[in-house]
């Protein structure tokens, strides 16, 4: 009897860069996996080609991304031949190109200078792709990428891996949802990390939903195990982490998701910085309104260490606005000011859009 290959088995073969055994029969969905060289369910909705130069297309036409790399647990390639085949497989080639795309975007946005920044994507139980050391992120090619285990041992690639990859793995080992990390030195967010000023919250609804509470990792020498531990502990519960006197690291389900958070945090810090200089003070939404956004973030499956906090604790940023502290109003106190209808409308609109997207899935 010829062997019947299911879609799941076909995806596994495709991921390893292998073909179905001679004489086997493929189900229609399995045939789709190999059809035309396009990646199907492993890369839902991307339309990303399996090889060749996809950089320009994916850069010019970003769509709602879902580039999460899914592997079957316990199937990491082991022998040198398996590792080499995996490292050169079409599925990994697509990820290498996406790392190059994200590197170009980091560099174009002025988030990296010189050889600064680094990018990783987890591709197995104990495997990750990463950028090499001493390279400008704006001009990388897929051939520059490295394959390492989560202890930093290099398994494939001709260039030496970045030493800062260990910081990324500090997060990935503690937080399984972190499938990709992006580290850079975006000037506005890094300025907060240097000035030792906490980034205030409760100012822009999108930031509460997509960044969540921004973590702060204490300064440690870059590339050291102490730094990996410090950032790992903070990154376990924060998707965006300010690294004191250094920069920012963000994580997501895939590399585009992690990169977006880098844009989100620097844009947020830039806007807050400009707003703070206008002289009119900062209008903040209330702890109750913040709670609605945090609940929404949790529904989207993203962690937020503020989930259990009281409403009065949510919008306290005394560091940024000295004198603003959390206090519970007495029961007979006058009712608080009604919420700003403009902010209310923005929150309602964002909530509605996100719920619409969720229900469309």
Q: Which residue is nearest to Zn ion (CB)?
A: 247
- Distance of closest approach, residue 157 Cβ to Zn ion, in angstroms: 20
Q: How far is the CB of 116 from Zn ion (least distance, A)?
A: 5
Beta pairing, strands 240-243 & 247-252: antiparallel
In order of 25, 40, 354, the CA distances from 360 in angstroms are: 34, 19, 10
Binding span for Zn ion by CB under 5 A among 28-36, 210-218, 245-253, 286-294: 245-253
The answer to whether 181 and 255 are in contact (CB under 8 A) is: no
Shortest Å, Cβ 201 to Zn ion: 25
Q: How far is the CB of 246 from Zn ion (least distance, A)?
A: 6
Stretch that binds Zn ion, among 86-94, 127-135, 247-255, 333-341 (CB under 5 A): 247-255
The span from the CA of 29 to the CA of 40, in Å, is 9
Comparing CB distances to Zn ion, the nearer of 48 and 181 is: 181
Among candidate residues 256, 262, 269, 107, the one with its CA nearest the CA of residue 183: 262
Nearer to Zn ion, 181 or 302 (CB): 181
The CA distance from 311 to 330, in Å, is: 15
Smaller CB separation from Zn ion, 205 or 247: 247
CB of 347 to Zn ion, least distance (A): 34
Kindly give, in sequence order, each residue whose CB lies less than 8 Å from that of residue 37, ignoring residues fewer than 6 positions away: 49, 50, 51, 90
Helices and strands: H and E segment counts in the chain: 13, 10
Q: DSSP state, 49?
A: B
The residues that bridge with 249 in the sheet, in sequence order, are: 183, 241
Site string for Zn ion, 262-301 (x = CB under 5 A): ----------------------------------------
Measured from the Cβ of residue 102, the count of other Cβ atoms closer than 10 Å reads 28
What residues numbered 141-160 form the site for Zn ion, per CB under 5 A?
Answer: none
Gap between the terminal Cα atoms of the chain: 39
Nearest to Zn ion of 77, 247 (CB atom): 247
- For residues 164 and 208, which CB has a smaller minimum distance to Zn ion in the complex? 164
Q: Which is nearer to Zn ion, 247 or 287 (CB)?
A: 247
Pairing relationship of beta strands 4-5 and 25-26 according to DSSP bridges: parallel
Contact 155, 123 (CB under 8 A): no
How many other CB atoms are found less than 10 A from the CB of residue 3?
A: 11
Contact 231, 241 (CB under 8 A): yes
Selected range binding Zn ion among 207-215, 244-252, 255-263, 279-287, rule: CB under 5 A? 244-252
Q: Which stretch binds Zn ion (CB under 5 A): 7-15, 243-251, 301-309, 346-354?
A: 243-251
Size of the site for Zn ion (CB under 5 A): 1
Structure tokens at 111: 């988030």
- The distance of closest approach from Cβ of residue 127 to Zn ion in the complex, given in angstroms and rounded to an integer, is 23
Using CB under 5 A, which of the segments 4-12, 49-57, 241-249, 347-355 binds Zn ion? 241-249
Binding mask 196-235 for Zn ion (x = CB under 5 A): ----------------------------------------
Query: Whole-number minimum distance, CB 240 to Zn ion, in Å?
Result: 15
Residue pair 243/194 in contact (Cβ under 8 Å)? The answer is: no
Is the CB of 126 or the CB of 244 nearer to Zn ion?
244
* Residue with smaller CB distance to Zn ion, 232 or 247: 247
Of 220 and 289, CB closest to Zn ion: 220
CA of 215: how far to CAs of 109, 179, 212, 335, in Å? 22, 18, 9, 33
Instruction: Provide the minimum distance between the beta carbon of 232 and Zn ion in the complex, in angstroms, as a whole number.
Output: 15
User: Shortest gap between Cβ of 134 and Zn ion (angstroms)?
Assistant: 13
β partners of residue 67? none
Nearest-approach distance from CB 183 to Zn ion, in angstroms: 6
Instruction: List residues binding Zn ion (CB under 5 A).
Output: 247
């Amino acid at each position: 009897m010829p062997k019947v290959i299911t879609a799941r088995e076909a995806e596994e073969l495709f991921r390893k860069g292998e073909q179905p055994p001679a004489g086997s029969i493929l189900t229609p969905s399995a045939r789709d996996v190999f059809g035309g060289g396009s990646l199907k369910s492993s890369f839902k909705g991307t339309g990303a080609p399996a090889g060749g130069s996809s950089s320009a297309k994916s850069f010019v036409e970003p769509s709602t991304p879902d580039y999460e790399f899914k592997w079957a647990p316990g199937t990491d390639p082991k022998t040198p031949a398996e590792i080499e085949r995996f490292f050169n497989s079409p599925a990994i080639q697509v990820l290498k190109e996406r790392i190059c795309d994200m590197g170009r975007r980091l560099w174009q946005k002025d988030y990296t200078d010189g050889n600064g920044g680094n990018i990783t994507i987890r591709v197995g139980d104990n495997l990750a792709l990463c950028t090499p050391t001493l390279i400008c992120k704006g001009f990388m090619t897929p051939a520059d990428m490295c394959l390492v285990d989560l202890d930093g041992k290099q398994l494939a690639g001709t260039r030496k891996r970045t030493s800062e990859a260990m910081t990324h793995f500090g997060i990935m080992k503690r937080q399984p949802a972190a499938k990709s990390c992006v580290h850079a030195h975006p000037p506005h967010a890094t300025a907060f990390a240097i000035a030792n000023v906490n980034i205030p919250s409760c100012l822009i609804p999108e930031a509460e939903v997509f960044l969540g509470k921004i973590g702060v990792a204490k300064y440690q020498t870059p590339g050291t195990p102490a730094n990996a531990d410090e950032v790992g502990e903070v990154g376990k519960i924060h998707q965006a982490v300010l690294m004191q006197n250094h920069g920012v690291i963000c994580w997501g389900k895939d590399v585009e998701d992690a990169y977006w958070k880098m844009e989100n945090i620097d844009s947020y810090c830039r806007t807050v910085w400009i707003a703070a200089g206008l002289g009119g003070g900062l209008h903040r939404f209330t702890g109750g309104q913040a709670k609605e956004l945090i609940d929404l973030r949790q529904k989207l499956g993203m962690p937020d260490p503020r989930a259990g906090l009281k409403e009065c604790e949510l919008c306290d940023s005394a560091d940024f606005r000295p004198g603003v502290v959390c206090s519970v109003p007495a029961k007979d106190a006058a009712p608080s000011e009604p919420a700003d209808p403009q902010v209310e409308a923005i929150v309602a609109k964002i909530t509605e859009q996100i719920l619409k997207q969720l229900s469309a899935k």
